[in-house]
Structure 1
Amino acid sequence: MRVSRGIAALAVALPLLAACGEAEEPGPSMSTLTTALESGTFTKVDFVAKTDADAVAADYSDLTGNLFGKLGAPDVSATKPTFTGEGTDSAKSTLTWAWGLPGGRWTYESEVELRKTGEKWEFVWEPTVVAPALAEGRSLHVETVHQQRGEIRSTSGATLVADRPVVTVGIDKTLIDPVAAPAAARDVAAIVGINPKRYAKRVKAAGDKAFVEALSIRKPMMTKAKAAEIAKIKGAAMLNRTLPLGPTKEFASPVVGIVGEVTAEMMKKKPGTYLPGDLAGLSGLQARYDGQLRGKPGLQVAVLGDEGEVLKKLYSTDPIDGKPLAVTLDARLQKSAEKILKRVEPESALVAIRPSDGAVLVAANGADNKMNLATFGQAAPGSTFKAATTLAMLRKGLSPKSQVKCPAKATIDGKTFKNDSWYPQSGLGEITLAHAVAESCNTAMVGAADEIGHAEIASAAASLGFGIDRDAGFASYFGQIPEPAGETEHAADLIGQGKVLASPLVMASVIGSIQAGHTVVPNLVEGQVAKPSGVEPLAAAEADQLRTIFRGVVTDGTGRGLADVPGKPVIAKTGTAEFDRNGKRLTHTWMIAAQGDLAVAVYVDEGENGASTSGPLVEAFLRMANER
């Protein structure tokens, strides 16, 4: 049977109370009661009159409202029963309740009455047992008072990521038969463009009263036609809310990250920090600096009436707003870079830094990237790594005008190295080091393998900011040049193949270091600059020679496409790195360039070569950057 609120005669057997005015210890029966209140299950409580324990549990569930779902189970303890009135057939015990909250606990007391019937003591059930303020038709309800999440701003103070209006589309399982919910979920998924099978699975697994989010859509992008389609689906719901978003959908998304409802894994990892439904950073900077950005939500526990109206507030805490995070991104340059990459079909990335102080101005990823390639990608840099090889050769006493040999082929320990198919015949033979770099002669570089050891190439790379791992305060990869397995691999390292790996971030640092004349340490988050130690400084004379050599790439070499870019002189280097994928020989393409106080690296996962694939993207970016 269904137990109504205010039931007065639900009983549990208790030990006889002492005749001296104070009952005996609560004993097993009182602990059984408190255990039942903590679990919400009363099947082990010894009720008399064959009262339905399931009905008691249902009544208790109504009285506690959403507290179990939001706060978890309470801790309940009981005092020894004491006699009440003149006789010895009634007693009472004080219950102490403690509900866990993020960063604290909400505690209060209530009373339970005991009555003697025959030789047994019975537990009297009333709504006030759960909380003194409860009465017939009332229930407890906890509500989060949302705080203002901190904005992500540029170091100049401009707002980059802030709360913006969205329409959250999902399935409200209270509006549909649970059996029909998965089919409705697939229909919704098809409209908003997410995986129907996965979304239907999530909806099926959710509770019968859950709202399962499909996707949050920026309000300006929610067309009337799309809203009308969604509205026709039974069980579908659209909620107006705000979420921390950048000025565009793509804006540095993999780097900045996203904000969403906390996951079960997050709640388990940080117990007592979150409540179900709380918003938190799930990836990128939003996750890394969630403690700063998130602040702390407030809570309000209230007594609700029959119509859900608030009758009395029992407990409340004020929200604490999050603090802003300052980053070096330039909104104009970032959006322009992302616009440029939109026309690139393969995965791609563009990073731009300010060489004078290492500020990361752009960290753009292609629209179809599966991961954050801009700052955390790992691919062979090809001939762009010749910047490090050239520095190592300068440190061996060569100069831009020194003569080096550039044969059509070079054999190292049985492995034959060749120049790229487009390498000009006029560039073969004895040529200057500057000419070898300008036309990107592979054989000239691998020919230096006997003179330049692994330690020397690694040291030269480090002077340009390459290969020095550190925590920069954001997801970043600074490249690797591990000890080679043999002479062939060492030779391959000198042309950016072998086991050398780089990210666009670190390659922008390499050309930026040449432009600035010192080792550039890229930084994105204000106050988070981790300078590497033990790195041989880039000498002023070395930087001058490198700028001369890499200016020649633009005036007389593979970077000729940048020769007419307006503004200050441009230095650059192209790169192509072969790799195998699904049985096919393909090429990564690169170009790094610097102009004035701007250094840029562009990477395309699959292309023809650095000059023809990545070069036009660099040119477009530099031309756009010059427009003010």
Structure 2
Amino acid sequence: MARMGKSSKLSAALIGLILGASLVSCDDGRTGAQDAAKQLASALAALDVGAVPFEGKDSAAANEQLHEVFKELDPAKPAVQSGELKLDKDTATVPLNYSWKIGSGEWKYMVTAQLKKSGDKWLTVWTPGLLAHLAEGEVLGTSSQSPARADILGAGDVPLVTYRSVVNVGIDKPLLASTDPAASATQLAELVGVDPAAYVQQVQAAGPEAFVTAITLREDGRTISDNQIGEIPGARAIRDYLPLAPTRTFARALLGTAAEANAEQIEKSGGELQAGDTTGSGGLQQQYDAQLRGSHGIQVFAEKGGLTAEERQSLLNGGRRLLFEATMKVGTPLRTTLDPKIQQLAEDVLAKVGPASAIVALRPSSGAVLAAASGPGSNGYDTALLGQYAPGSIFKIVDSLAMIRNGMSPDSTVECPATLTVDGRTFKNAEGYPASSLGSVTLRDAFAHSCNTAFINARDTVSQGQLEAAATSLGVAVEAPALGASAFLGSVPGDATGTEHAASMIGQGKVLMSPLAAAVMAGSVAKGSPVSPQLVLNPGADESAAAGGAATPSASAPATSAAPSGSTAPPAAAD
């Protein structure tokens, strides 16, 4: 390698010095100002400017003023983006673009931030206008208007859930005077049937001006009178209206409930819910909450902070300047196919059934679900639509369709032995099976008496895939796009051998159905083509569900005249 001489080293050093000087002269402070602008925008979006250096304002004091200005918008936070920076020596300006989600609208505005260089730092010049279009001493205020919650309608648009009169029974603490709060709370709890210890704790924890609700009673049919309530010091009944079904239990698992939003629901709503809002929990009330609830009408305005009510009344428009307005949107009623009379009848039938139970009634011609009742033993679970059960002998409807597709007829001869062993597992008929129907019988007779062994015997001529195909042709184990509610339409494996395939032939093994799926299957037989269930009628949609696929009408129709016995699923009905 050639050695570098002294003159070469000197030339290289001079070039490096010149380049370094050029780079320094190009650094006009823009990078530092842009970094400061981005830091400011990020801090404003987080509503925390405690770490931002300001000129003319202590950072902690600026942060406190920011919180005071924006507290009426809590818990909402803005998106803030810094725009193109303009630099003039040691000063700079940068636009800040704010975007707030307010009710159903979006409040957008732009303010200009001024930056000044102090030493090697860029400081933000503090002004209330940095937060919004505010003058010194102004803060943001809001007013809102809430729409009434829309109804849930049944068949013929009969109101199922609508506003009904209620009374909130509780202790109004200002009325207690010198009375022991615990004593009154205990008396009231015992009167209305709530836990006295828990209610006493609620009353004691509430503030001195609070009304603490013990229970909300329907006005219609209540047995606790105002006189009984009034005899307890501090107790009173406050009348109100709530969106309620005809009775406390009416289609409760399906419809869900609507009540005042709690703190957790408000926090999780991302600003959609406010204190005092009514929101849905469970069922259709929760699924279609946004549609039923509508959205608030909200005004955001600038006003002088710290004024008394009297001082504000003396000012034009209360001293308020309107900055933004989101128009209130009323909720849209949810239309369903439920027939209230049939639904109530189904619930009456199940009222004294101990285990989980359900009745689903649908109209085969349209798939309209007329009733979807879950009994008290379901403990609030929507057994009617979501229950998963081995269908048992009602699955012989599927077997029969598959067998007929393979060339048999209702009059074909099948073998019905008392027992049948498959790969070491013995299957038998139900207790009390008539001996006269054993041996060589017609498929019609085997179906009518629900001969397990006859249908298991067909396992060699009906594959598991053919069972699955027959099930889907009857509306089972398929999607239900027109239903409009969460549901389980069944599961029929397309691949199974040996004892599992044998068990599938009598609705056992891994075959599962819901009461809704059972009703759809029966309805498909009655109609002669697949039924697609429909519960929620979307606005503008055709009320009759579209049907797809095909069953074999002439062969499957006789199945409706003899319902198979021994089903392990809850009852289902098709109309």
Normalised to the residue count of structure 1, the TM-score between the two structures is 0.64
| Matching of residue 511 in structure 1 with residue 516 in structure 2 | no
Task: Work out the CA distance in 2 between the residues paired with 1:491 and 1:170.
Answer: 61
Equivalents in 2 of 1:75, 1:168: separation in Å?
44
Amino acid at match of 2:395: F
| 2:562 maps to 1:546 | no
Structure 2: which amino acid aligns with 1:388? V
Q: Which residue of 2 aligns with 1:351?
A: 360
CA gap of 1:496–1:247, structure 2 versus 1, over 3 A, is same
Instruction: Name the SS for the 1:434 alignment partner.
Output: helix
Contact 2:464–2:497, Cα closer than 8 Å, also in 1:
no
The Cα of 1:434 is off from its aligned counterpart by: 1.9
Say yes or no: does 1:341 pair with 2:343: no
Spell out the pairing of 1:430-441 with structure 2 (5 A cutoff). 430-441=440-451
> Which residue of the partner structure matches residue 622 of structure 1?
none
Please list, as runs of the form range in 1=range in 2, the aligned pairs for 1:279-298 lying within 5 A after superposition: 279-298=278-297
Structure-to-structure mapping, 1:51-90, within 5 angstroms: 67-69=72-74, 71=76
Change (3 A) 1:392 1:213: farther
Q: 1:98 to 1:65 in 2, by over 3 A?
A: same
Q: Compute the RMSD of aligned alpha carbons.
A: 5.5
| Structure 1 position 199, deviation (Å) | 12
Letter in 2 for 1:160: L
CA-CA distance at 1:341 after TM superposition: 1.4
CA-to-aligned-CA distance 1:78-109 (integer Å, 9 cap, x gap):
xx9xxxxxxxxxxxxx9999865223227699
Looking at structure 1, the residues matched to 98 and 228 of structure 2 have their Cα atoms a distance apart, in angstroms, of 48
Query: Amino acid of the residue matched to residue 363 of structure 1?
Result: A
Is residue 145 of structure 1 aligned with residue 167 of structure 2?
Answer: no
Counterpart in the other structure of 1:424: 434
Q: Is the CA contact 2:261–2:275 (under 8 Å) kept in the aligned structure 1?
A: yes
Note if contact 1:150-1:322 (Cα within 8 Å) is conserved in structure 2.
yes
Percent identity reads 34
Deviations 1:48-85 (A, max 9, x none): 9xx9x89x999998x669615464689899xx9xxxxx
**474, 484, 492: which one pairs with 1:464?**
474
Answer yes or no: is the 8 Å Cα contact 2:81–2:97 preserved in 1: yes
Match of 1:473 in 2: 484
Counterpart among 310, 316, 327 of residue 318 in structure 1: 327
Distance 1:283 1:381, change over 3 A: same
Letter in 2 for 1:336: L
| Match among 484, 488, 503 for residue 492 of structure 1 | 503
Q: 1:373 to 1:209 in 2, by over 3 A?
A: farther
Aligned to 2:567: 576
- Match of residue 105, structure 1, among 104, 107, 111: 107
Find the residue that maps to 1:393 and give its secondary structure. Answer: helix
Q: Is the 8 A contact 2:266 2:272 kept in 1?
A: yes
Cα deviation, residue 410, structure 1: 0.8
SS in 1 for 2:507: coil
Aligned partner letter, 1:501: L
What is the 5 A alignment of 1:159-558?
159-168=159-168, 191=192, 193=194, 216-220=216-220, 223-224=223-224, 240-262=239-261, 271=270, 273-301=272-300, 306=308, 311=318, 314-315=321-322, 316-370=325-379, 371-471=381-481, 472-483=483-494, 485-526=496-537, 527=541, 535=549, 537-547=550-560, 551=561, 553=562
CA distance in 1, matches of 2:160, 2:175: 38
- Paired with 2:52 and 2:231, the residues of 1 have a C-alpha distance of 47
Secondary structure of the 1:161 match is strand
Find the structure with the greater CA-based Rg.
Answer: 2
Partner in structure 1 of residue 11 of structure 2 = none
Query: Secondary structure in 2 aligned to 1:430?
Result: strand
Distance 1:380 1:432 in 2: 26
Once the two structures are TM-superposed, the CA of residue 510 in structure 1 deviates from its matched residue by 1.0
The structure where helix makes up a greater share of residues is 2
**Equivalent position SS for 1:448:** helix
Q: Is the 8 A contact 1:415 1:488 kept in 2?
A: yes
Corresponding residue SS for 2:144: strand
Contact 2:353–2:377 under 8 Å retained in 1: no
Question: 1:328 Cα shift?
Answer: 0.7
Give the letter for the 2:107 counterpart: R
Q: Give, as a single letter, the amino acid of the residue that structure 1 aligns with 2:102.
A: L
Instruction: Map Cα deviations across residues 154-180 of structure 1 (whole Å, 9 max, x no partner).
Output: 34222222222334568999999xxx9
Distance in 1 between the 2:182 and 2:281 partners?
26
The 3 A distance-change label for structure 1 pair 224 and 400 is same
Counterpart CA distance in 2 for 1:209 and 1:58 is: 29
Query: Is the CA contact 2:78–2:98 (under 8 Å) kept in the aligned structure 1?
Result: no
What SS does the corresponding residue of 2:399 show, helix, strand or coil?
Answer: helix
Provide the C-alpha distance between the structure 2 equivalents of 1:418 and 1:504, rounded to a whole number of angstroms: 25
1:329·1:524 contact (CA, 8 Å) conserved in 2? yes
Cα distance in 2, alignment partners of residues 163 and 493 from structure 1: 48
Amino acid at match of 2:106: G
Q: Tell me the distance in 2 between the aligned counterparts of 1:388 and 1:273.
A: 47
Residue segments in structure 2 that go unaligned for 5+ positions in a row: 1-32, 86-94, 114-124
Kindly tell me the number of residue pairs found equivalent between the two proteins: 504
C-alpha distance in 1 between matches for 2:477 and 2:97: 60
Return the offset for 1:462.
1.6
Contact 1:35 1:76 in 2 (8 A): no
Q: Assess, with a 3 A threshold, how the Cα gap between structure 1 residues 544 and 342 changes in structure 2: closer, same or farther.
A: closer
Q: 1:593/1:194 Cα in 2 relative to 1: closer, same or farther (>3 Å)?
A: same
Amino acid at match of 2:346: A
Distance 1:261 1:340 in 2: 32
Bigger shift: residues 154-163 or 294-303: 294-303
Give the Cα–Cα distance (whole angstroms) in 1 for the partners of residues 72 and 343 of structure 2.
Answer: 45
SS at match of 2:536: coil
CA deviations 1:14-40 (Å, max 9, x no partner) are xxxxxxxxxxx9x99xx99x9799858
What is the Cα deviation at residue 387 of structure 1? 1.0
C-alpha change, 1:131 and 1:237, in structure 2 (3 Å) is farther
Deviation of 1:43 (Å): 11
Give 1:360 deviation, angstroms: 0.5
User: Residue 143 and residue 70 in structure 1: after superposition, are their counterparts in 2 closer, same or farther (change >3 A)?
Assistant: farther
2-side partners of 1:436 and 1:76: how far apart?
75
- Check whether the contact 1:166–1:243 (CA below 8 A) recurs between aligned residues: yes
Q: CA deviation at 1:291?
A: 3.4
Q: Tell me, in whole angstroms, the C-alpha distance in 1 between the residues paired with 2:320 and 2:223.
A: 40
In the TM superposition, residue 335 of structure 1 has moved relative to its aligned partner by: 1.5
Q: CA 1:376–1:300 in 2, change beyond 3 Å: closer, same or farther?
A: same
Q: CA deviation at 1:133?
A: 9.1
Q: Secondary structure at the match of 1:573?
A: coil
Partners of 1:193 and 1:380 in 2: CA distance: 40
Measured in 1, the distance between the counterparts of 2:210 and 2:126 equals: 34
